């Protein structure tokens, strides 16, 4: 095996060991949901989407008809991003249900909304939301999620960047940035 192949194989093994954060994105608006999903995918996140609070609770194992055996779900979700204004169950109501759960309460929840209503923002932050963001989200907003490093170890900017410098078939340098 030549040096370039060995370096490539080594890089691949390291990248496989880098944890991919899993984000649950909840929004009733398909376009907003797809935008959030794509921004997160571009930031190397695994994304699960739900179109309403009820579906999100079902995914998390917190639905009314579930027996709340969450251990398997908790390890799979590192962050929840939810719209505030949704029919049936608001993002605030979803936040309350998540924070009432003994197993899920430590998972960070970010509320997003197209409406900048200070009383609503304060209510969500007081109930346990870690952040409130205005729609439409941009890539720069996703970068702000790095503050949840405990939960998102490899999101935007925290993932090692591997550079291989080759001169023909000869490996000149193998750097991790």
Predicted pLDDT at 76: 77
Predicted pLDDT at 159: 42
pLDDT digits (tens, 9 = 90+) for 106-161: 999 999 999 999 999 999 999 999 999 999 999 889 888 877 766 565 554 444 44
Residue 165 has pLDDT above 90, yes or no: no
Q: How confident is the model at residue 63 (pLDDT cuts 50, 70, 90)?
A: confident
Please work out, in degrees rounded to the nearest 5, the angle formed at the alpha carbon of residue 128 by the alpha carbons of 52 and 25: 30
Instruction: Indicate the range of 2-6, 126-130, 148-152, 168-172 predicted with least confidence.
Output: 2-6
Residue 12 has pLDDT above 50, yes or no: no
Q: Are 94 and 56 in contact (CB under 8 A)?
A: yes
Secondary structure of the chain: what % helix, strand, coil (to 5)?
40, 20, 40
Instruction: Indicate the range of 85-94, 99-108, 162-171 predicted with least confidence.
Output: 162-171
Predicted pLDDT at 120: 95
Q: Average pLDDT of the chain?
A: 79
Predicted pLDDT at 48: 96
Helix (H) or strand (E) holding 50: strand 46-50
Domain ranges of the chain: 1-18+160-177, 19-158
Distance CA 164, CA 72 (A): 38
Predicted pLDDT at 94: 98
The candidate with the shortest Cα–Cα distance to 86, out of 65, 112, 125, 107, is 112
CATH fold for the domain made of 19-158 = Rossmann fold (3.40.50)
């Amino acid at each position: 095996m030549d040096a370039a192949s060995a370096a490539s194989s080594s890089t691949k093994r390291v990248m496989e060991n880098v944890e991919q954060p899993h984000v649950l994105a909840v929004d009733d608006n398909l376009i907003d949901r797809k935008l959030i999903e794509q921004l997160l995918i571009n930031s190397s996140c695994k994304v699960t989407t739900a179109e309403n609070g009820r579906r999100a609770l079902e995914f998390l194992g917190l639905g009314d008809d579930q027996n709340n055996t969450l251990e398997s779900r908790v390890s799979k979700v590192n962050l929840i991003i939810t719209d505030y204004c949704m029919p049936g169950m608001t993002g605030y109501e979803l936040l309350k249900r998540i924070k009432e759960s003994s197993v899920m309460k430590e998972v960070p929840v970010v509320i997003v909304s197209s409406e900048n209503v200070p009383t609503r923002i304060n209510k969500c932050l007081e109930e346990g939301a870690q952040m409130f963001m205005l729609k439409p989200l941009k890539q720069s907003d996703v970068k702000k999620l790095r503050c949840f490093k405990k939960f998102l170890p490899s999101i935007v900017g925290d993932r090692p960047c591997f550079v291989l410098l080759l001169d023909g078939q000869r490996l000149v340098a193998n750097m991790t940035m």
